[in-house]
Amino acid sequence: MTDFQSVHGAAPTGVWAAPGRVNLIGEHTDYNDGFVLPIALPHATRAAVRLRTDGLLRLWSEQGDGKVTELDVAGLTPGAVDGWAKYPAAVVWALREAGHQVGGADFWFDSDVPTGAGLSSSASLECVVATAYRDLYELDLDAAGLALIAQRAENAFVGVPCGVMDQMASMCCAEGGALFLDTRDLAQRQVPLDLAGRGLRLLVIDTRVKHDLADGAYAALRAGCERAAALLGLPALRDLDLPGLPAALDRLPAELRPLVRHVVTEDARVEQAIALLDAADLTGLGPVLTAGHASLRDDYGVSCPETDLAVAAAVEAGALGARMTGGGFGGSVIALVDAERLDGIAAAVTGAFKAAGYADPRTFTATPAAGARRLA
Ligand code: GAF
């Protein structure tokens, strides 16, 4: 492993970390002004940083190609930076675009957030840069403000029209809890999630089917939701509730109905999950997760054979519930399981993948970890 000093020739000023996430429930609701319920993963991107006075951004990653990427912050333009370096560059660009007087820096990155697994590795990279810059440049931005900068970076510089969930999760989650977030006004509540105390585990199954949100499918879904809201005369699909759903569906063209049904029922599932967690009924969460997966598969169309198989195999082997997490089109599945059944369920999923001729999934358990922070 290379360290900051050997890459950049001096000691860093500090070290920061920002985590990846899994979302418990509330998928494809964030760009509809709806509710989400993510936890931060123990997996994080770490950055050692030292500011520069010459306006250069010099970026090096343990997971990169062994070369320093050098960029002039004044010349940063959307679309002009390729590969992983576009994420840190995007955040510096977004900060400057928002009027913050920030310049260059030397960065050393190291991440154990799996990439392309739907676990928000890019948001963790954006958020660690945003947090380090906030501290080093003493910017007047709170965690939610930094999340909005990181989202703007991803939307306008990287070119992915994502909602704000991943950046808010990476910035605002707290150890031991899930983040109940209203994406309309960013009102948030930390909801205790003592899985271990209840003899439960959250199994994460990375199907290793790489998802790529920049490929257009995500943007098309988002556009479909916005068109449906406009046809219904609503600011966003968030403004439709379960009782109003049947009449609203009647007013929409057939191709938009399943999208709307997913978003409205998914917001209701988040509220159901919150009620269960508030009542300390963690096992009751299981069927809500599985219902969420069925909706993403049958109505929203963002699951894939591998995520469907992981969910089916986990539930058949005794999981209390399971669903894909994140944007979909591959990526990861979460399964809520009794601790003593964890190994058996992981083995059953791996066995089902083998039998289907799929690559071995990567499995690990997730405990709710802390959001972005300074380490040293
Ligand atoms: C991706 C996006 F980045 C999020 O904003 C969210 O829409 C999610 O997909 C689906 O819930 O992770």
Predicted confidence (pLDDT) per residue in 35-49, tens digit: 999 999 999 999 999
Among 134, 166, 191, the domain-final residue is: 191
211: Cβ below 6 Å to ligand 1?
Answer: no
Say if residue 207 is in the same domain as residue 178: no
Q: Among 166, 182, 343, 360, which one carries the catalytic annotation?
A: 166
- Whose alpha carbon is nearest atom 5 of ligand 1? 163
For ligand 1, what atom is nearest to the CA of residue 29? 11
327: Cβ below 6 Å to ligand 1?
Answer: yes
Ligand 1 pocket: which of 27, 166, 289 to mutate (most atoms <8 Å of CB)?
166
Examine residue 124 and state whether it is found in any structural domain, yes or no: yes
Per-residue model confidence (pLDDT) at position 2:
80
Concerning whether 166 is annotated as a catalytic residue, the answer is yes
Q: Summarize the confidence of residues 129-137 as an average pLDDT.
A: 98
Q: Is the model's pLDDT at 286 over the cut of 70?
A: yes
Say if residue 146 is in the same domain as residue 237: no
Predicted TM-score of the model (pTM):
0.98
For ligand 1, what atom is nearest to the CA of residue 164? 5
The ipTM (two decimal places) reads 0.99
362, β-bridge pairs: 206
Rounded Cα distance, 129 and 47, in Å: 7
Examine residue 284 and state whether it is found in any structural domain, yes or no: yes
Q: Is the model's pLDDT at 337 over the cut of 90?
A: yes
Examine residue 328 and state whether it is found in any structural domain, yes or no: yes
Per-residue model confidence (pLDDT) at position 256:
98
Backbone angles phi, psi at 213, to 5 degrees: -70, -15
Predicted confidence (pLDDT) per residue in 223-275, tens digit: 999 999 999 999 999 999 999 999 999 999 999 999 999 999 999 999 999 99
33: Cβ below 6 Å to ligand 1?
Answer: no
Annotated binding site for ATP: 61, 116-122
Predicted confidence (pLDDT) per residue in 81-130, tens digit: 999 999 999 999 999 999 999 999 999 999 999 999 999 999 999 999 99
Per-residue model confidence (pLDDT) at position 213:
67
Annotated binding site for Mg(2+): 122, 154
Examine residue 180 and state whether it is found in any structural domain, yes or no: yes
Say if residue 206 is in the same domain as residue 342: yes
165: Cβ below 6 Å to ligand 1?
Answer: yes
Say if residue 85 is in the same domain as residue 52: yes
The alpha carbon of 11 and the centre of ligand 1 are apart by a number of angstroms equal to 36
Q: Summarize the confidence of residues 195-211 as an average pLDDT.
A: 96
The alpha carbon of 326 and the centre of ligand 1 are apart by a number of angstroms equal to 6
Annotated binding site for substrate: 27-30, 218
Q: Is the model's pLDDT at 211 over the cut of 90?
A: no
Predicted confidence (pLDDT) per residue in 24-34, tens digit: 999 999 999 99
Question: What confidence tier does 201 reach under pLDDT thresholds 50, 70, 90?
Answer: very high
The alpha carbon of 102 and the centre of ligand 1 are apart by a number of angstroms equal to 28
Q: Is the model's pLDDT at 279 over the cut of 70?
A: yes
166: Cβ below 6 Å to ligand 1?
Answer: yes
Examine residue 371 and state whether it is found in any structural domain, yes or no: no
Say if residue 126 is in the same domain as residue 93: yes
Q: Domain of 69?
A: 4-191
Ligand 1 pocket: which of 24, 30, 215, 293 to mutate (most atoms <8 Å of CB)?
30
Predicted confidence (pLDDT) per residue in 61-88, tens digit: 999 999 999 999 999 999 999 999 999 9
Pairing of the two strands 177-182 and 321-325: unpaired
Predicted confidence (pLDDT) per residue in 7-24, tens digit: 999 999 999 999 999 999
Say if residue 15 is in the same domain as residue 132: yes
326: Cβ below 6 Å to ligand 1?
Answer: yes
Predicted confidence (pLDDT) per residue in 348-361, tens digit: 999 999 999 999 99
Say if residue 56 is in the same domain as residue 13: yes
Per-residue model confidence (pLDDT) at position 69:
98
The alpha carbon of 337 and the centre of ligand 1 are apart by a number of angstroms equal to 24
Q: Summarize the confidence of residues 333-337 as an average pLDDT.
A: 98
Per-residue model confidence (pLDDT) at position 373:
98
Among 191, 221, 237, the domain-final residue is: 191
Say if residue 31 is in the same domain as residue 100: yes
Say if residue 112 is in the same domain as residue 222: no
Question: Domain holding 225: CATH number?
Answer: 3.30.70.890
Per-residue model confidence (pLDDT) at position 215:
75
Q: Is the model's pLDDT at 214 over the cut of 70?
A: no
Say if residue 155 is in the same domain as residue 277: no
Say if residue 288 is in the same domain as residue 156: no
Q: Is the model's pLDDT at 289 over the cut of 90?
A: yes
Predicted confidence (pLDDT) per residue in 160-181, tens digit: 999 999 999 999 999 999 999 9
The alpha carbon of 327 and the centre of ligand 1 are apart by a number of angstroms equal to 5
- Whose alpha carbon is nearest atom 1 of ligand 1? 327
Among 191, 217, 235, the domain-final residue is: 191
Examine residue 375 and state whether it is found in any structural domain, yes or no: no
Question: Domain holding 116: CATH number?
Answer: 3.30.230.10
Examine residue 8 and state whether it is found in any structural domain, yes or no: yes
Say if residue 124 is in the same domain as residue 240: no
Q: Summarize the confidence of residues 311-333 as an average pLDDT.
A: 97
Examine residue 12 and state whether it is found in any structural domain, yes or no: yes
The alpha carbon of 210 and the centre of ligand 1 are apart by a number of angstroms equal to 15
Predicted confidence (pLDDT) per residue in 300-312, tens digit: 999 999 999 999 9
Q: How many domains does the chain have?
A: 2
